[in-house]
Chains A and B, each alone.
Chain A
Amino acid sequence: MTKASIEARGDLRLTRLTKSYGDFTAVDDLSLTIPKGSFFALLGPSGCGKTTTLRMIAGLEEPTAGSIYLGETDITTTKPYQRPINTVFQNYALFPHLTIFENIAFGLRRRGKSDVKEAVEKVLNLVELPHLAQRKPTQLSGGQQQRIALARAIVNRPALLLLDEPLGALDLKLRRQMQIELKWIQKEVGLTFVHVTHDQEEAMTMADTIAVMNEGQIEQMGSPADLYDNPETAYVANFLGQSNLIKGTISGNDGDSQIVDLFGQKISLPKSRSHAVDNSTYAGIRPEKFRISLLETPVKGNVLTGGRIEDVSYIGVSTQYQVEMPWGQELMVFEQNDDGVAPFKKGDAVNISWEPAFTFGLRGDEDATAGSEVAPEVLDEE
């Protein structure tokens, strides 16, 4: 068992994984396959169960029910030190009494590897910090410690690398830089990365596949573009970026599209992007997909008339408008400032139009504000 598990390779499969603490279910019947070699992100707010899931994969928590497979090997009850899995901890957890070199060599030495020196030097070069080998962790900056934590994990060439909010302690600029570096390193070493984060931008920048978690379950899983362009639930629509969700009724069909009645105005929605289960629906449109035009300007595609500009925020690269519609809802519109100026001003009467293909349809019985009340960037660790 020991030998077999440490050599296990392949896709990571979680089947019906559950973790309960008394009455509270942190992870609820979660099934999921993470393909070998992918960069996978578990995205969700604090308390959604993503860190608990990660800790179960690492072996630091024991599942209440369900199984974890790595390739064909069942590792559900395998001790953490017998799993071919390494973790980059949230606050790095470097060993303060050891030098950087010995920190990185720790895993290799435990497994009695030869050529430790060569391997450590190689990985130190990869993270571009070879000159720090003899320092102690406390002598390093946050960004440097982060890279050493990464080096300490990847030097073992694990079947799976787990990253628990690894960039959470860094400032914004460094975080952006590390996101790009992490992605590059993942490609370079070709390991499977499972990244837990509450930062949707971070997940979208780095991951091939994102699973959005909410209350212990996976809300939706897919590529960043899939999730953003075609969210299946209000939670995903609001948690990843911003969405305008307009209550409506499906009133008919037109070929591959549904005709949706939004407060008396008809628009078209591709059937493939409709997730409604009955006639009641929410039509969703991302703010940057909207176009604003003055009433007399002819427009194509889906059009909603009768809008009035309530608020204009000029933010350089774009302008954000709040447009009040006849039924009282305020829609958010982002317009690129191609001409350098915001073309509309407060009080203008306008139409709003967009490409029908950008519309997505949600179930009408959803809470349209789900996922929007959590401000992900200010949440603490779980």
Chain B
Amino acid sequence: MRKIRTPYLLLLPGFAFLFTFFILPIINLAQTSTQTRIPGGDTGQYEQTLRFTNYFDAFIENREQFTRSFVYALLATLLALAISYPLAYAIAFKSGKYKNVLLVLVIAPFFTSFLLRTIAWKQILGEEGFVVPTLRTFGIISDSTTLTSTSFAVVMGMTYNFLPFMTLPLFASIDRIDPKTLEASGDLYANGITTFRKVTLPLSMPGVVAGTLLTFIPAAGDYVNAAILGSPNTKMLGNVIESRYFRVVDYPTAAALSFTLMVAILILVTLYIRKVGTEELV
């Protein structure tokens, strides 16, 4: 009997944590999402009326930010993938004794706060930074163009902030590839490009899937980058939820939006894993 109970006892702390800090808040969120304002009540006083049209209203009102969240997250994910793949490949196969140093450098940004790094980007892309004058000197942007408060800055910020989440799983996946299989591919009449398409990429797919998920999911819900680097025109859903909760004190709408975002991400991720997911992941 004792043997059978042991695994459950070991799982208990985890379950307790998840229950308290995930299940209960989710239930609470679900309850809040269908409430309505108490007639004549104070700000922030709501009662349960099971008004499911809250969802519909919230969605219609914030369609634009919804779309923007997913477009920005997608762009940031693709950019991060384009930057991280060569980086992870180089660290795995070409870095020799510097492998560990480079890996530490990849996670080094985590030693400073997320907020601070994003504010630093504001400086970098600002008028006083070196980027804007340089681009102007080479005539890539006109003198009147600025980079801060643009969707460009928001996407760049997200790309930068989530880059390690893309790089690390990619590295783990590529590092596991036996270099001999790449030699074998060349030996079997595949040139460099074909070897990448037929051997390297398929073998690194678990890393691609993990990396894109780890980037896309937090990016879709992010509001820090849009708040610091963007403008009212670049607001994402996260910003709307934040202001509904803390400024407008419209809990039901905020809860409904949170739920909608969560479900939308869940559906997208499920479709994505179905489409490209490898056996190892499921």
Contacts and interface: CB of A to CB of B under 8 A. Distances in A.
Interface of A: 6, 58-60, 79-82, 85-87, 89-91, 93-97, 106-107, 110-111, 152, 156
Contacts of A110: 188-190, 194
B109 interface: no
Interface string B183-203: 111111111001000110011
- The 8 lowest CB-CB distance pairs between A and B, nearest first, are A93-B180, A107-B188, A110-B189, A93-B184, A80-B186, A97-B202, A81-B189, A87-B187
B181 interface: yes
B127 interface: no
A94 B203 CA distance: 12
A79 B202 contact: no
A81 B181 contact: no
A60 B181 contact: no
B183 A89 contact: yes
B185 to A, nearest CB: 7
Contacts, number: 62
A96 B176 CA distance: 11
Contacts of B178: 91, 93
Contact of A107 (B180, B189, B191, B199): B189
A79 B181 contact: no
Contacts of A87: 183-184, 187
B190 A81 contact: yes
A140 B187 CA distance: 22
Contacts of A107: 188-189
Interface residues of B, number: 17
A94 B185 CA distance: 9
A93 B186 contact: no
A79 B187 CA distance: 9
A106 B180 contact: no
13 contacts: A59-B187, A79-B186, A81-B186, A81-B187, A81-B188, A86-B187, A91-B178, A93-B178, A93-B181, A96-B181, A96-B203, A97-B199, A110-B194
Nearest to B180: A93
A90 B187 CA distance: 14
B199 A79 contact: no
Contacts of A106: 185, 188, 190, 198
B205 to A, nearest CB: 8
Contacts of B185: 95, 106
A80 B180 contact: no
Nearest to B190: A110
A89 B188 contact: no
Contacts of A96: 181, 203
Given A81-B187, A156-B188, A95 B199 contact: yes
Contact of B181 (A86, A94, A111): A94
B200 to A, nearest CB: 10
A299 to B, nearest CB: 57
B201 to A, nearest CB: 10
A5 B189 CA distance: 12
B173 to A, nearest CB: 12
B127 to A, nearest CB: 50
B190 to A, nearest CB: 5
A89 B180 contact: yes
Contact of B183 (A6, A93, A111): A93
Nearest to A90: B180
B180 A79 contact: no
Nearest to B187: A87
A107 B190 CA distance: 8
A158 to B, nearest CB: 9
A86 B188 contact: yes
